[in-house]
Amino acid sequence: MSTLVLVETDADGVAETSGEALTFARGLGDPVRALVIGELSEAVTSQLSDYGVEAVHHANGPAFETYAAAAWAAAVVAAARETDAGVVLASGTPRGMEAMAHSAVRLGASMAANTVEAVSRHPMVVNRQVLGGSVLEQMQVDGDIAVLTVAGHACEAVPADAPTTPAISTLEVEVPESDLIAKVVRTEPGEPDESGGLKAARVVVGGGRGTGGPDGFGDLTELAELLGGVVGVTRVVTSLGWRPHAEQVGQTGSRISPELYIPCGISGAIQHWAGCSSAKTILAINTEADAPMVTKAHYAVIGDLHEVLPAINEELRRRRG
C-alpha cells in the first residue's frame, strides 16, 4: 500500500503547494510515491528526494504536451494501479482539483476536496474546508482508494527527516483520443494572470468598501509600491467595478499568504477572510475598532485610511531620505 501524490512543477522545481501535499502525504504513514507529468528536471527529482519520496513515476509524451485533465487522470489511474495506492492526492490547485475529480470517477472512489488534516487512516477520516473555510467538515472517505486534495496552506511544506533516493521509472500510459477532446488548444500571452503576482507577493495592501470609489486607491497603490507589494481588493470592490477581478482576494478570488497583509477599510466578511487568513502578519486600518478584520488582525490602526495612509507613505519616504 502506498500514497500517490500528483506533483505539479514550476520554474523552481516542485510547486510550493505540491510540497505541502507531499508533506501531508508523509503524515499518513504509508510510503509516498510521486507522479510527475511532462518534463522531469533534476531540480524536481532532487526536491522529491528531500521530501522523502520513495519512487517517482514519470508520465511524458505527446498526450501531455498541452494540458488535458482527462489525460492527466489517465496517468493518475495508471500510477495508482501500478503503486497499489490506498490514497491518491494532489494539492487543491485548479489542476489538482480537476485531475483528482476525473481520477475519482475513474477509480470508482469518493473524493474529499480541500482536506486540512487526516483524523484517522483506517477508516480514512479527514477534516476538510467547507463554506470557504469558515466551517470544517469531518468526512469519512469510504472505498479501497481514497482521493483527496489538500487545501492550500493547510500545512507547511517541510522536507523529510532524511532524504531518500527515489527510484525513477517511466509510466506507460495509454491515452485514448477521447481523453484529449477537452484540452488547452492555446494560451494567450500578453495578458498575464495578475492574480499570480498577488498569490506570490510578500506584501499585499488590501482595499475594501472604505476606499470610497475607484479614485480612492491612490494612497493604497503608493504604499504597495513603497513596500514592493501589490494591491488586493474585496469582492464588493470588484462587483462595483472599481478594480479588476484579477485583484480580488477571497473565497471566489485569490487566496494569498504574504508575509504582511494590510487591509484598509475592509470589515472582514467571511468571503474575504477565506482568502487572506493565511497571511503571516495582518495590519488592519479601519475606522471601526470592532470590525472583524480588526479583531482578527495582529496589529491595527483605528482611523480613516485616507488620513492614515498618506501619513504612513510620508513617513516611509522621509526615512528613505
Partner 1 sequence: MTDVLVCLKRVPDAAGEITLSGDSMSIDARHVGYTVSAHEEAAVELAVQIADETGGSATAVSLGSGDAVEQLRNALAVGCSAAVLLEADAEAYGPADVAEALAAVVRDHAANGTTYDLLLLGNDAADSGDFQVPIRLAYALDRPVVTGISTVEIEGDHVTARGRGTEGPEIYEVPLPAVVAVMEGGVSPRYPSIRGRMKAKKVKIDQSEPSLQPAGNGRIKLVLPPAAPSKVEILGEGPEAATAVVDLLVRLGVAR
Q: Long-range contact list for 285-291, CB < 8 A, 24+ apart?
A: 285/309, 286/210, 287/210, 291/266, 291/267
Counting contacts by CB under 8 A, is residue 308 touching partner 1? yes
Q: How far is the CB of 268 from partner 1 (least distance, A)?
A: 11
Burial track 155-179 (b if 16+ CB lie within 10 A, e otherwise): bebeeeeeebebeeeebebebeeeb
Binders of partner 1 among residues 40 to 69 (CB under 8 A) are 67, 69
Residue partners of 289: CB distance under 8 A and separation at least 6: 300, 302
Q: How far is the CB of 103 from partner 1 (least distance, A)?
A: 10
How many positions of this chain bind partner 1 (CB under 8 A)? 92
Binders of partner 1 among residues 2 to 21 (CB under 8 A) are 10
Q: Choose between 173 and 260: whose C-beta lies nearer to partner 1.
A: 260
Name the grid cell of 284. Answer: 488592519
Counting contacts by CB under 8 A, is residue 139 touching partner 1? yes
Name the grid cell of 66. Answer: 498541452
- Which residue is it, cell 473555510? 133
Q: Choose between 62 and 319: whose C-beta lies nearer to partner 1.
A: 319
Q: Choose between 158 and 226: whose C-beta lies nearer to partner 1.
A: 226
Binders of partner 1 among residues 182 to 241 (CB under 8 A) are 182-193, 195-196, 202-203, 226-229, 235, 238, 241
Name the grid cell of 149. Answer: 486534495
Determine which residue in the list 65, 131, 170, 214 makes contact with partner 1, applying CB under 8 A: 131
Residue partners of 249: CB distance under 8 A and separation at least 6: 198, 204, 206, 232, 233, 234, 255, 256, 272, 275, 276
Q: Choose between 49 and 286: whose C-beta lies nearer to partner 1.
A: 286
Q: Report the candidate in 287, 262, 59 with the shortest Cα–Cα distance to residue 179.
A: 59
In the 8-state DSSP scheme, what is residue 177? G
- Helix (H, G, I), strand (E, B), or coil: what is residue 157? coil
Q: How far is the CB of 160 from partner 1 (least distance, A)?
A: 27
Q: Choose between 62 and 228: whose C-beta lies nearer to partner 1.
A: 228
CB atoms within 10 A of CB 75: 28
Q: Choose between 170 and 281: whose C-beta lies nearer to partner 1.
A: 281
Name the grid cell of 180. Answer: 484529449
Q: How far is the CB of 79 from partner 1 (least distance, A)?
A: 19
Q: Choose between 122 and 319: whose C-beta lies nearer to partner 1.
A: 319
List alpha helices for 63-115, DSSP H.
Answer: 69-82, 94-107
Determine which residue in the list 176, 213, 218, 303 makes contact with partner 1, applying CB under 8 A: 303
Determine which residue in the list 47, 83, 127, 257 makes contact with partner 1, applying CB under 8 A: 127
Determine which residue in the list 86, 132, 210, 232 makes contact with partner 1, applying CB under 8 A: 132
Binders of partner 1 among residues 259 to 298 (CB under 8 A) are 259-260, 269-271, 281, 283-284, 289, 294-298
Burial (CB count within 10 angstroms: exposed 0-12, middle 13-18, buried 19+), residue 116: middle
User: What character string, x for contact with partner 1 (CB under 8 A) and - otherwise, covers 79-108?
Assistant: -------------x-x--xx--xx-xx---
Q: What are the beta bridge partners of residue 316?
A: none
Q: Report the candidate in 50, 56, 55 with the shortest Cα–Cα distance to residue 160.
A: 50
Counting contacts by CB under 8 A, is residue 301 touching partner 1? yes
Cis peptide before 123 (omega within 30 of 0): yes
Name the grid cell of 68. Answer: 488535458
Counting contacts by CB under 8 A, is residue 304 touching partner 1? yes
Q: How far is the CB of 211 from partner 1 (least distance, A)?
A: 17
Q: Choose between 81 and 202: whose C-beta lies nearer to partner 1.
A: 202
